[in-house]
Each structure stands twice: as structure tokens, then as C-alpha cells.
Amino acid sequence: MTDLSAGRRNAPDRLVLVRHGESVGNVADRRAREQGVGKLDLEYRDADTPLSETGERQAEAVGRWVGGLEDGQRPSVALASPYNRAASTAQEALGELDLVDRLVLDERLRERDLGIFDGLTGLGIKEAYPEEAERRSRVGKFYYRPPGGESWCDVIQRVRAVLADIRSEYDGERVWVFSHQAVIMSFRYVLEDLDEETLLGIDTDTPMGNCSVTSYERDADGALTLVEYNDMTAVQAADEPETHEEPTPGSQE
């Protein structure tokens, strides 16, 4: 397996990964699990799911935080998933800068496709697709691909491609990426040369907060080194609620 961070001179000076604010899908997923039901009460398709009111305030908080950064820390390039909740977060976060009109929407940064599991909780998957639930348990969440959907490995392949483009096109820039939990964890997998067990351990032990920030800085060899993971400074500074979910098979991450 090729390590995209090894032996390369081109790299952004800083790579910042921001998870979207809380979405109405996150709220519906949490409510469904609390009520012990198998299906989310959600009228939107995944790509159109908007931010919740809390998520909008979280995104605004990121915008104020970004606006207060020194010029050398502010983004010079911004990319986002085209999914509503991520693109809206990016627009709010970049509101005080001149990057909104130059925001690049890249479909490779979209949420992991859950296929036939979309809109279901873990309980709902077991009830509707018991054989698939058993197969997922046997294969493991890293390699398991739900029918019509994607495995984590599929997402990692997308991330490898977009990261290669970031390195070649944005050398020396400060690149900010607004995306989703599984995508950001996939960046960690590639950049830090993690293995399956380590990646899933981080995902379980440190659930990624909405509007959290994960950042990397370039070293002398062009490698991108982790500076912070799941930083909630922007949300905390605005005294907004910190929201996250334990990852589950049917979660709207």
C-alpha cells in the first residue's frame, strides 16, 4: 500500500478538517435510538439533510472563531462536501472571509453511503436485514459494505484521491476541508498510516463532535503531522452545546 505522505515534497502548509454542525439527521438518529425504534423520522434524503438550529449556531461559532484567527492561520483554500449540512457549515464558517464564492464542492468528500441501511438505526437493521447484520458483525465495520452502499475502505479510496489532488494543486496553501465523520477519520487513516484496529479504536473512544476541528501541519519533509484532533474550541468559546453520537450502523453521521 502506498503512503501518500511519504517521499512527497508538495503539501499544503496546513490542512484543517472540520466536521459539519449538528444536522436534523443527527437529531432524528439520537431520538430514534433513545426511543428504541428502528427507523429515523426524517423527510430528507441524506444529501439534502440540513443543519439543526443548534448546528447553525455551531457553524456560526466556527465563523466567528475563524474570523478571529491571525492572517497566517486563516484558510487560503476551502473545499467541502456538496451535502447540505457540510456545505452550509462551510458557508457560515467562511462568512467573514472572501472564500465563500471560491468554495470548492468536491463529491469525493461526501458522506459514506449507507445503501439500504440509510435511515435505519442499528435495531432497525437487525429487524429488517438480520442476515446482513450478522454478516456485518462477522466481517467488521471497516470492511463491511452494506448493499448499495460503501465500506470505510471505499471512503478511504476517495480520500486518497482527493488528498493527492490537494498535495499537487495546493502546495504551500492553508487548506480547510468541511466534511463528515467517516471522511475525516479516513484522512487520519491515510495521513497517519493507521491500521484498522487503531482507527476504529479512536472512532469508538473519542466520538467526533459536530463542528470539531482536526488539523495537520507540514514538516520539513512535506509530511502532514497531526496537531489536534476533535478540537471543540470554536463551539466552546461561543458557549454552544457540544454534540456528537456514538457511531452506529444506521447513524446519519
CATH (domain of 219): 3.40.50.1240
- Name the band, by pLDDT with cuts 50, 70 and 90, for residue 253: very low
| Mean pLDDT value across the chain | 93
* Residue 82: inside a domain: yes
Instruction: Give a yes or no: residue 230 inside a domain.
Output: yes
Is 3 within a domain? no
pLDDT mean over 50-72: 96
Does the residue 145 lie in any domain?
yes
For residue 115, give its domain range.
14-237
Residue 9 within a domain: no
Question: What number is the average pLDDT over the span 212-232?
Answer: 96
Q: Is the C-alpha dihedral spanning 247, 137, 196, 224 positive or negative?
A: negative
Residue 8 lies in a domain: no
72-86, 92-106, 238-252: which has the highest mean pLDDT?
Answer: 72-86
| Pairing label, strands 213-218, 14-19 | antiparallel
> Which of 189, 187, 112, 182 is CA-nearest to residue 145?
112
pLDDT of residue 246: 62
What percentage of the chain reaches a pLDDT higher than 70? 94
253 assigned to some structural domain: no
- Look at residue 60 and tell me if it is in a domain: yes
pTM (2 decimals)? 0.93
Asked whether residue 133 carries a pLDDT value surpassing 70, the answer given is yes
Instruction: Output the DSSP codes for 111-133.
Output: PPP-GGGTTB-HHHHHHH-HHHH
Number of domains in the chain: 1
Whether residue 19 contacts residue 210, with contact meaning beta carbons closer than 8 Å, is answered with yes
The per-residue pLDDT for 247 is 55
Does residue 189 register a pLDDT over 60? yes
The per-residue pLDDT for range 66-86, each reduced to its tens digit, is 999 998 899 999 999 999 999
